[in-house]
Amino acid sequence: MMAAAKPASAAGPGAAADLSVTIRGMTMPNPVGVASGTFGYGEEYAPLVDLDALGAIYTKAVTPEPRPGNPAPRLADTPAGMLNSIGLANPGLDAFVADKLPLLRGRRCAIIVNVAGKTEDDYLRVVERLDGEAGIDGYEINVSCPNVAHGGLAFGTDPAQVERLTRRLADARKAAPGRPIIVKLSPNVTDLTAIAKAAEAGGADALSCINTLVGMVIDVKARRPTLAMGTGGLSGPAVRPVGVACVYRVSRAVSIPVIGLGGIARADDALQYLLAGASAVQVGTALFSRPETPLEVLSGIRAFMEREGVERVGDIRAMLR
Ligand SMILES: Cc1cc2nc3c(=O)[nH]c(=O)nc-3n(C[C@H](O)[C@H](O)[C@H](O)COP(=O)(O)O)c2cc1C
């Protein structure tokens, strides 16, 4: 379900553009969020970015148990991007609730917890435990991490498993049924629309795409891969055209909202995603060099809407010629 929080009639001539995005029971004040794994749980960025001015914070992955992540080196430079094999390093469910969630509670922006695990039951444990916790607005289900040997990728590449997992998670919402289940898709599949439709059939309220693309960098002098894991996930401007094409295809294959990400560094990048069919966007890798990027992207979207006379951000989707 997708609707603007404010009725259309409220936005008359000269009225401020409506930037809000509503998915199920969650309303984001604006469409620009920060991507999972690139913003931690907000604490390091709080002195640099006004968290309340963001549309949403998508947290670093939360798994039932603490995970140290993969061995170093875990990062490599690439042309117009970077390769990472962080491997879902996180403090685990209990520490997330005790130490990270308090800082996020009561924020104006939506708090969306990125959920990961090695088995279906792992994902279920996270959602069931967080169901009774205040301060969470939605869940983003990472079925697409290419870095965990026995985890994410298997889910994200098998439509039947994506559908079953999504249904189990959707049914696990008891105390807070309004929280959307957002399934995050991997571009590392042959037919992305089949996975998108499977998530929708399982009861997903929205999809986000894309996660990173599998890549490898080889240190020629050492004659070995630069990353300890061999391969990693490619992100940054290099993946943007892939992400835009995925959003274009997926948003035409399903009737639930699609959240676009991959290589957004400027307002025009975000507008490409919104024109391609996205209802909202996320900024990831660009945060590492310029933490102010999401707020600049937001003001660029606002300027575009004023210039083009667009009342609601959701109307941009229909403007592609
Ligand atoms: C260092 C790093 C860690 C990431 N960790 C996660 C994660 O825990 N869960 C997840 O769903 N995506 C994770 N991602 C993927 C990003 O959320 C995003 O989908 C991807 O990087 C593409 O967007 P970008 O080009 O704007 O970074 C990570 C990306 C990077 C660069």
The mean of the pLDDT values for the chain is 92
Residues 6+ apart with CB under 8 A from 26: 110, 112, 137, 138, 178, 179, 180
Q: Inform me whether the pLDDT recorded for 5 exceeds 90.
A: no
Q: Which of 268, 237, 270, 273 is nearest to 257 (CA)?
A: 273
- Residue 229 covered by a domain: no
* Contact by Cβ (8 Å): 202, 170: yes
Distance from C-alpha of 137 to C-alpha of 141, rounded to nearest angstrom: 13
Q: Is 70 a member of any domain? A: no
Question: Ligand 1 within 6 A of 236 CB?
Answer: yes
Position 222 in a domain: no
Please state, in angstroms and as integers, the Cα–Cα distance from residue 246 to each residue in 43, 143, 271, 283, 301, following that order: 31, 16, 15, 16, 21
Q: Does the CB atom of residue 162 touch ligand 1 within 6 A? A: no
Mutate to test the pocket of ligand 1, among 32, 34, 36, 83 (most ligand atoms within 8 A of CB): 36
3-state DSSP helix/strand/coil percent for the chain, to nearest 5? Answer: 35, 20, 45
Q: Which atom of ligand 1 is nearest to the CA of 237?
A: 25
pLDDT tens-digit map of 181-205: 999 998 989 999 999 999 999 999 9
The answer to whether 25 and 178 are in contact (CB under 8 A) is yes
Considering its fold, how many domains does the chain have in total?
1
User: Which CATH number covers residue 28?
Assistant: 3.20.20.70
Q: Whose CA is nearest to atom 31 of ligand 1?
A: 285
Name the residue at shortest CA distance from atom 29 of ligand 1.
37
How many whole angstroms separate alpha carbon 63 and alpha carbon 115?
6
Q: 231 lies in a domain?
A: no
User: How far, in Å, from the CA of 38 to the mean position of ligand 1?
Assistant: 6
Higher-confidence position of 153 and 267 = 267
Query: pLDDT digit string (tens) for 225-265?
Result: 999 999 999 999 999 999 999 999 999 999 999 999 999 99
pTM for the complete prediction?
Answer: 0.94
Tell me the residue range of the domain where 21 lies: 2-65+86-212+242-319
The pLDDT of residue 224: 97
Average pLDDT of the segment spanning 214-233? 96
Q: Are 216 and 232 in contact (CB under 8 A)?
A: yes
Is 145 known to be catalytic? yes
pLDDT in tens, 139-164: 999 997 543 444 445 678 889 999 99
The dihedral over CA atoms of 139, 165, 142, 42, expressed in degrees to the nearest 10, equals 20
| Interval between CA 191 and ligand 1 midpoint (Å) | 21
Distance CA 32, CA 24 (A): 18
